[in-house]
Structures are given as C-alpha cells and as structure tokens.
Amino acid sequence: MSDMSAALKIAAAGMRAQSSRMRIIAENVANAGSTATGPDGQPYRRKIPVFTEELDRATGTHTVRMSKALPDPSDFRSVYDPGHPAADAKGFVKYPNVNSMVELMDMREAQRSFEANISVIENSRAMLSRTLELLRSR
C-alpha cells in the first residue's frame, strides 16, 4: 500500500472515530435534563467514549476506532424539588451526571480532530493530483 493511500485510510478511520464520539456527546447532551420516572429509579448516566488502536495486517497501517462507551462513574446531581414525581423521601431529585460545558468542550475537540482529518485527506488528494500533473507534463 502506498504512503498516500495509507494516509487516506488513517484519516478516514479518524473521521469515523470522531463521528462516533460526536454521537455519544449528542446523546449525553440530549439526556442532560432527564430524570428517573420514580423516586427509586436512576437518571441517565453520562457515557464516555473509549478508543482503541487497530492494526490492519494487510496494509500495515495503524488506525483508531471507538470500541465502546463506558458509563461515567461520577455522582448524579441532586436538586431539592419535593413536588417532582422522582423526588426521594427527603425531596431530592437525581439528575444525570452530564455537565453541558464539558460536553461542549468535548464536542469542539471532536470537531477539530474531524476537521484535521479532512485536511489530511484534502492535502493528500492535492499532492496526488499535483504528482499526476507532473507525470503528464513529461
């Protein structure tokens, strides 16, 4: 496999991994304000994406992929709201352990990584195109 196609394969894998990461972040944000349906239930628990390195033995390239999403073990937020249907005996309601600011920062980082991989693909294409032009001009 040429260096150019290896670079494209690695960048594409990075884009897929960041896309998966963005889906997890979107799920976290979508559930940030949800509560359990009753006082004994648990609210949504934030998910954390886990990435693993993969070796493509056929091409010898190392790529990345999101292998799973683990639950965030941090504590739920508790808000005093005795009239809420999910309030416990003391009047507290458990809310997800999702911090919108953290999710926003994670989304920006994922977006920048995605864009960096797009840049690699665009630059690789431009280099390949320029190489073909040089070969044709001979």
pLDDT at 70: 97
Extract the residue ranges of the chain whose pLDDT is less than 50.
none
Predicted confidence (pLDDT) per residue in 68-95, tens digit: 999 999 999 999 999 999 999 999 999 9
Strand partners, 57: none
Q: Which residue, among 121, 113, 92, 122, has the nearest Cα to 25 in the 3D structure? A: 113
Q: Which residue, among 52, 46, 51, 50, has the nearest Cα to 26 in the 3D structure? A: 46
pLDDT at 57: 83
pLDDT at 33: 92
Cα–Cα distance between 29 and 44 in angstroms, integer?
11
pLDDT at 56: 81
CB-CB neighbours of 17 under 10 Å: 22
pLDDT at 99: 95
**Which residues in the chain belong to E strands, given as ranges?**
47-56, 61-71, 77-80, 92-95
64 contacts 12 by C-beta, under 8 angstroms? no
For the chain, the domains span 3-136
